[in-house]
Amino acid sequence: MSSGDDDQLVRFADMLSAMGTEPRLRIIRRLLAAHPNGMVVGEIGADLDIAPSTLSHHLEKLRNEGLATVRREGAFLRYAANHDALQELLAFLYAECCTRNKVVKPETVTCC
């Protein structure tokens, strides 16, 4: 169980790292704003002015860390923010940050 906790911690660290870059945080924010419809890659790129290959790498990272999901829509790929992953991450942060201080119970965090 200790190693399970470790795995979780590493996973959350990876998620935080994936969000910890200006372009990617901007992408996530944009996807959240467009939720639940999501956005097509070209639309994101045009909106945030990111070169296609660069954008592709960023989206790949977000996908890999489970922060975004894709589905093909004909010639387009539509990306959406992943709900569940974000909720897990926020719940983790709240648990670590709040439960131990007994300020707010994580149960009140029913979000996303």
Partner DNA sequence: TCGGTAATTCTGCATATATCGAAATAGTGG
Partner DNA sequence: CCACTATTTCGATATATGCAGAATTACCGA
Contact 68, 84 (CB under 8 A): no
Identify the residue among 2, 3, 37, 101 touching a second copy (CB under 8 A): 101
Contact 38, 81 (CB under 8 A): yes
Specify the stretch interacting with DNA by CB under 7 A; choose among 21-29, 30-38, 84-92, 99-107: 21-29
Among positions 35-94, residues that touch a second copy (CB under 8 A) are: 35-36, 86, 90, 93-94
**Residue 12 binds which entry of a second copy, DNA, none, CB below 5-8 Å type-dependent:** a second copy
Q: What is the closest distance, in whole angstroms, from the C-beta atom of residue 76 to a second copy in the complex?
A: 23
Q: How many CA atoms lie within 13 A of 56 on its CB side?
A: 5
Identify the residue among 26, 30, 35, 57 touching DNA (CB under 7 A): 57
Identify the residue among 7, 9, 10, 21 touching DNA (CB under 7 A): 21
Contact 69, 63 (CB under 8 A): yes
Return d(Cα 48, Cα 89) in angstroms, integer: 25
Instruction: Assess 59 for contact with DNA (CB under 7 A).
Output: yes
Secondary structure (DSSP) of 57-76? HHHHHHHHTTSEEEEEETTE
